């Protein structure tokens, strides 16, 4: 591309960073391309920096990823999510949960992706306290996490069965499921992290 005289744009760099992130042995190429951002004045392009964070995280270079994150002058939700998920990719759960705390301190509102990433970190750490707080945030803000976590198979089966029942039977089934849910949660509270909404139960096993 360079030999042909074509000038790369921000999309070009994003694709290169994705490729380097998928090939950790090419981190040297990624660093070189990172350095070239200053020459083309894309070092302040937040979109490019988000891909750069992901590249470094996938290659296990979390210090470099965090440096890019800190140099973003106006961090938005995508910036925070990129760094938090980057820590999880690099198996740095403690740092991911810690950054979430800083995010809250700065008044940045989380979304589904944020909460799912932090729940994953809590599960890895066995941090029931923070996991519970994340669940409370999801309930309070009415954020459904099943899009990212996936529906529980039993919940799907129950939902299919309910379609064949009358309205009264649906109500009875719902009450019975809720009772079973609380019984299950009370028995296993010390072993797992839970998230449940009206149709979904997701369980992170800590053992």
Per-residue pLDDT tens for 41-54? 888 888 899 999 99
Q: Taking a C-beta distance cutoff of 8 angstroms, is the pair 155, 201 a contact?
A: yes
**pLDDT band at residue 30, thresholds of 50, 70 and 90?**
confident
pLDDT, residue 10, reads 78
**pLDDT band at residue 191, thresholds of 50, 70 and 90?**
very low
Instruction: Give the integer Cα–Cα distance in Å for 149 and 195.
Output: 10
- Determine how many CB atoms are found less than 10 A away from the CB of residue 204: 17
Is the pLDDT higher at 200 or at 61? 61
Instruction: Give the integer Cα–Cα distance in Å for 207 and 194.
Output: 14
Which residue in 106, 96, 93, 70 sits closest to 52, CA to CA?
A: 70
Domain boundaries, the chain: 1-74
Q: Taking a C-beta distance cutoff of 8 angstroms, is the pair 88, 120 a contact?
A: yes
Give the DSSP H/E element, type plus range, for residue 203: strand 201-205
Tens digit of each residue's pLDDT (9 = 90 or more) over 104-114: 899 999 888 88
Task: Name the percent of the chain lying above pLDDT 90.
Answer: 25
Mean pLDDT of all residues in 83-109: 91
Give the HSE-up count for residue 94: Cα atoms under 13 Å, Cβ half-sphere.
0
State the chain's mean pLDDT as an integer. 75
């Amino acid at each position: 591309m360079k030999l042909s005289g074509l000038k790369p744009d921000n999309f070009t760099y994003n694709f290169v960073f994705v490729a380097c992130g998928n090939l950790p042995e090419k981190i040297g190429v990624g660093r070189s391309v990172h350095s070239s951002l200053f020459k083309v004045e894309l070092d302040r392009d937040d979109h490019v920096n988000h891909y750069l964070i992901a590249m470094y995280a996938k290659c296990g270079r979390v210090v470099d990823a965090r440096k890019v994150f800190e140099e973003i002058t106006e961090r938005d939700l995508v910036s925070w999510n990129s760094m938090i998920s980057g820590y999880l990719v690099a198996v740095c759960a403690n740092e991911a949960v810690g950054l979430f705390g800083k995010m809250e301190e700065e008044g940045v509102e989380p979304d589904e992706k944020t909460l799912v990433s932090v729940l994953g970190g809590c599960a890895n750490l066995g941090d029931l306290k923070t996991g519970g707080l994340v669940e409370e945030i999801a309930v309070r803000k009415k954020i459904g996490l099943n899009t990212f976590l996936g529906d529980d198979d039993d919940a799907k089966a129950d939902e299919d069965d309910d379609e064949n029942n009358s309205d009264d039977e649906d109500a009875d089934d719902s009450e019975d499921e809720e009772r079973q849910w609380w019984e299950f949660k009370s028995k296993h509270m010390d072993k797992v992290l839970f998230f449940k909404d009206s149709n979904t139960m997701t369980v992170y096993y800590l053992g």
